[in-house]
Structure 1
Amino acid sequence: MTPTHSIESPQTITAGDKPKAIGFVRNDVSGLHAPRHALDVQRHANALGYQYVYTIRPPANVDDPIRYALGIAAGLEIQVIVVFDLGHVDCCPALVCDAGFDLETVCPQGTWVRSAQRVPDVETGVA
């Protein structure tokens, strides 16, 4: 008796099917390593299979760089924010996850899952 095998073609994942991600690199945290960290963040997101959209590098005069990044992420309908390390989110992943985004870190590699659905910001109205 000859065994028969069913071979299924792999599903093709299009860019529209992948979760969208942005990178977030703060110059005040990365210092002279900011360009390398930005590249590492993008590579990490691509390696995880995300549709990488943009790297946010807030201007130096922004009072709250995390909130600045969250506003951009909400406007772009991002699911995941990728940072080099937790220092970029003031060592508090909840700041990102409670805003309705997943958080990925490059070093050390880690994943924090969103803890809530996006709720519109009281001041900006951005969800």
Structure 2
Amino acid sequence: MPHTQAIEPPPTTGRPKAIGFIRADVSGLHAPRHANEIHRHACALGYRYVYTVRPPADDPDPIGYALGIAAGLGVEVIVVFDLAQVNDQPALVCDAGCDLETVSPPSTWVRSAQPAPGVEAGAAR
């Protein structure tokens, strides 16, 4: 008779969830290093890091792609290496209802809007 054991998911800690966002067209050959630094930065700030988003190279809206994943995961914070990842426009993330953290230079932009109930972040209103 096989031994089965119920595996309990780890308890949630109440820490805000965060994802990393890396664009290959921006980071280029530095993408692996940027991914490590994003993860390390998010954890050092106390976020619960859940995923690293790497949009497909042919995606016409990589920022919208990341915002869609953030909304689906219920993420509050998006961490990027630098502002070039969001076309030097932090408002693209903050107006969609997420905080934005950058590794270089270390900065925080707070969300300027809360998504309306039933509306995903990044969706047109």
TM-score normalised by length of structure 1: 0.83
**Which residue among 53, 56, 61 is the counterpart of 2:58?**
61
Match of 1:83 in 2: 80
Measured after TM superposition, the shift of residue 106 of structure 1 is: 0.0
Over residues 49-108 of structure 1, what are the superposed CA-to-partner deviations in whole Å (9 max), with x where a residue is unaligned?
A: 000000001110111000000000000000000000000000000000000000000000
Match of 1:97 in 2: 94
Match of 1:112 in 2: 109
Hey, what's the Cα distance between the residues in 1 that align with 2:26 and 2:52? 15
Higher Rg of the two aligned structures = 1
Aligned letter for 2:28? G
In the alignment, does 2:21 pair up with 1:24? Answer: yes
TM-score normalised by length of structure 2: 0.85
Hey, what's the Cα distance between the residues in 2 that align with 1:46 and 1:106? 12
Structure 1 regions of 5+ residues with no counterpart? 1-13
In the alignment, does 2:38 pair up with 1:47? Answer: no
Match of 1:9 in 2: none
Moved over 3 A (4+): none
Measured after TM superposition, the shift of residue 118 of structure 1 is: 1.2
Of all paired residues, the percent bearing the same amino acid is: 67
Aligned letter for 2:78? I
Secondary structure of the residue aligned to 2:115 is coil
Secondary structure of the residue aligned to 2:35 is helix
Instruction: Give the alignment's Cα RMSD to 1 decimal.
Output: 1.3
Q: Report how many residues are paired.
A: 110
